[in-house]
Amino acid sequence: MTAKQKKPSGLGRGLGSILPDIDIDAAQGNTMAAAISEVPLEKVVANPYQPRKEFDEEALEELAQSVRQQGIITPVTVRRMPDGTYQLIAGERRTRAARRAGLTEIPAYIRVATDMQMMEMALVENIQRSDLGAIEVALAYKALIEECQLTHDQLSDRVGKNRSTITNYLRLLNLPAETQLALNGNRISMAHARALASVEDTALHLELLHTIVSRHLSVHQAEQLIKNAKTKPASKVKHRGELPEAHSEAQSRLKNRLQSAVEIKRSQRGKGSLTIHFNSDSDFERILALLENGGK
């Protein structure tokens, strides 16, 4: 179906008249060029840099119902690939809702962008969303710093956040896997996690985490608990066997390589377990692909 043919539009009411189709082919030589058009939903493919791992089904259905009534108010952002597909840069929730609503096309800003530009646009756009989890935001910050080679100050300018805010998020990735999972599952808040980050002893850290979760302690109560625990004589603190340096370094490398929480447990006799956590089926497939390809 061409742009000249009459068809039910996925655009919001009245939006089509002020956003006419533009020939994207004329802009292929400019990496910052953009055009707007309606693209077939069947040709829209997922964004490999999407930091969001889970999507609320009820919220998606509500959005789909809105799309059935009003259409897509805000176009998604895509880039056209050599094979004719359109890779999402931003707007995965809108795309999923459009499919549920039965649309066959979706209005899209078509950007001409390199892989690096696409990653940066996708991550920055997603970071601005209020419903992105703290660990997801932290991983997105980490990806921007490492893949786009940004300093903390440059990242601060890109995302409009204070440098201290970015540093606090990045510190979350140094927390034990169990604490990260508790934060990701909303069993503790980011303020709880920041308080726990001051406890470097892993055994004590996890003991305090379990107490905070089981007793549903407020942030103030948790901070007081942590303060009291840190002032106890060292002899009264229970110590479990710490990981040997080689195992600890391997755990850190795996966490960075897989961009997911990894936990290694080891007994004094050398027996143990390696646990890799994932947040959804798609996240599982991503990790599995990395493992099968040697982490490349």
Q: What is the pLDDT of residues 94-138, one digit of tens each?
A: 999 999 999 999 998 888 777 677 767 767 766 666 567 888 888
CA 88, distance to chain mean position in Å, is: 15
Neighbours of 24 (CB within 10 A): 18
Q: Which of 57, 58, 92, 147 is catalytic?
A: 92
Residue 160 is predicted with a pLDDT of 80
pLDDT of residue 6: 36
pLDDT of 40 reads: 93
pTM comes to: 0.47
Q: Which of 124, 13, 4 is nearest to 70 (CA)?
A: 13
* pLDDT tens track for 49-67: 665 666 778 888 888 898 8
Stretches where the chain sits below pLDDT 50 are 1-33, 235-239, 295
Q: Can you give the pLDDT at residue 241?
A: 56
Nearest to 111 by CA among 18, 16, 47: 47
In CATH terms, 24-114 corresponds, of 3.30.300.30, 3.90.1530.30, 3.40.50.720, 3.30.565.10, to: 3.90.1530.30
Distance in angstroms (rounded) separating the CA atoms of residues 92 and 229: 44
**What is the per-residue pLDDT for 50?**
64
Q: Residue 236: what pLDDT?
A: 43
- What does R_g of the chain's alpha carbons equal in angstroms? 23
Catalytic residue check, 92 = yes
What was the pLDDT predicted at 240?
A: 52
Residue 76 has, within 13 A of its CA and on its CB side, a CA count of 31
Position 71 scores a pLDDT of: 86
The count of residues in the chain is 296
Residue 218 confidence (pLDDT): 93
**Cα–Cα distance list, 275 to 165, 243, 254, 267 (Å):** 30, 14, 11, 15
According to the model, what pLDDT value does residue 44 have?
93
Q: What is the pLDDT of residue 31?
A: 41
